[in-house]
Amino acid sequence: MYYDPTGRWRDEIEEQFASMFWNKDDYDEMVKLVNNFEYYNQMYLDSTNTQDKISYYEAMNRAKRKKDELRKSNNKQGEYNYSIENEIDGLYFNEAYRFEINASGEFINYFGQTNTVSSKNFVGMQNINRNVPSGSNNNINNTIHNTNSTLSGSNINMNSINSSGLNIDINIDILKGTGIGLLRNPLAGTNYFVNNSAVYGSTVFEIANRFDYITLKNGAIRNRPIFRVDSPHARYNYNHINVEKGQVSSRLFKDYNHKRISKNTFNVAKNYKTVAKTAKYAGRGLVAVSVAYDAYDIYGAYMNDGKTIGKETIVTTSGVAGSWGGSIAGAKAGGTGGALIGTMIFPGPGTMIGGFIGGIGGGIAGGIAGRKAGEGIAEAMLK
């Protein structure tokens, strides 16, 4: 999950892209517009005069429209490749991505390849290529010829992976599905979201409804909370959870509202953004291992075909493509299904837990099934 408290960027890809390739005046203008938007939003919430509220609301919309115009003029529609070097806990990674910008200036991200590198070298985005041609035998050859450098850079011992005694493709698909599941927002596609703007005072974590609102005593309008985690306050001098009355069953409200929680549970909720970021990094690591092995697998098939693109290379490549497609689709379907079941049990926290477990489980199942389907289709076509 990506969270930018400035509200400036929709995701970290756009943030990186804008910092390096936007027109500088437009970039500075975006900062001013965000500040203006936040100011008018606060004035709108604080004002008790109806006419003033209308004026502030219109000013907020003008700022929003201008931000969208800046995105559209600077985020040019097309397909792009880029690579960036990053650091995670003292390890340095080169991440290669492919992404698309649509007609609205919005970014659509695709996973690429992640390699470890030996030293710090933050150079930002580089090797930007637009309108990247899609799949061909050249792409297979490029994967094959880059395999050795990929594996040596990633510090992955393929012999130790192969010595596990289990089906290596299933092992990798499990890692792949888990990684993609960890990278997915467990509340995606649901009515709920983690409301970071509500983290103040005694509240350290909140899940709110995207489409339902309440009006506070001061006239401010905000998303209706479903579930909160609070530190000690007033009559409840212990770490506890709050459940919104009328949003869950009467039994859940009775059993869980102001229920005491352990210090460890409180700390996980309090540090949710760090926990989410750690899960994201873990997901990237698992995806990196999967990418490296898939390249290794294709390379082995290529060598078995006598250094040419023969039947084994095509079948293996189809299986790899199927496993990625299956993992991504499975994580989405599993996450949606898990979130639905979780919502039936406990709206909000159950939604998040169900979406998380379902996303990982669906990613694993989809990866295994997708590989088998891809290989089966290729073999049938080659008969």
What residue segments make up the domains of the chain, in order of their start?
A: 12-72, 76-132, 137-383
pLDDT digits (tens, 9 = 90+) for 279-332: 888 888 888 888 888 888 888 888 888 888 889 999 999 999 999 999 999 999
Query: What would the pLDDT profile of 38-54 be if each residue is shown by its tens digit?
Result: 778 778 877 788 888 88
Q: pLDDT over 90 for what percent of the chain? A: 26
Q: Out of 149-153, 157-161, 170-174, 244-248, which region has the weakest mean confidence (pLDDT)?
A: 149-153
pTM beyond 0.85: no
Please determine, for residue 125, whether its predicted confidence score (pLDDT) is greater than 50. no
Mean pLDDT of 22-45: 79
For the chain, give the secondary structure using H, E and C.
CCCCCCCCCCCHHHHHHHHHHCCHHHHHHHHHHHHHHHHHHHHHHHCCCHHHHHHHHHHHHHHHHHHHHHHHHHCCCEEEEEEEEEEECCEEEEEEEEEEECCCCCEEEEEEEEEEECCCCCCCCEEEEECCCCCCHHHHHHHHHCHHHHHHHHCCCHHHHHCCCCCHHHHHHHHHHHHHHHHCCCCCCCCEEECHHHCCCCEEEEEEEEEEEEECCCCCEEEEEEEEEECCECCECCCEEEECCCCCCHHHHHHHCCEECCHHHHHHHHCHHHHHHHHHHHHHHHHHHHHHHHHHHHHHHHHHCCCCCCHHHHHHHHHHHHHHHHHHHHHHHHHHHHHHHHHHHCCCHHHHHHHHHHHHHHHHHHHHHHHHHHHHHHHHHHC
**pLDDT band of 229, cuts 50, 70, 90:** very high
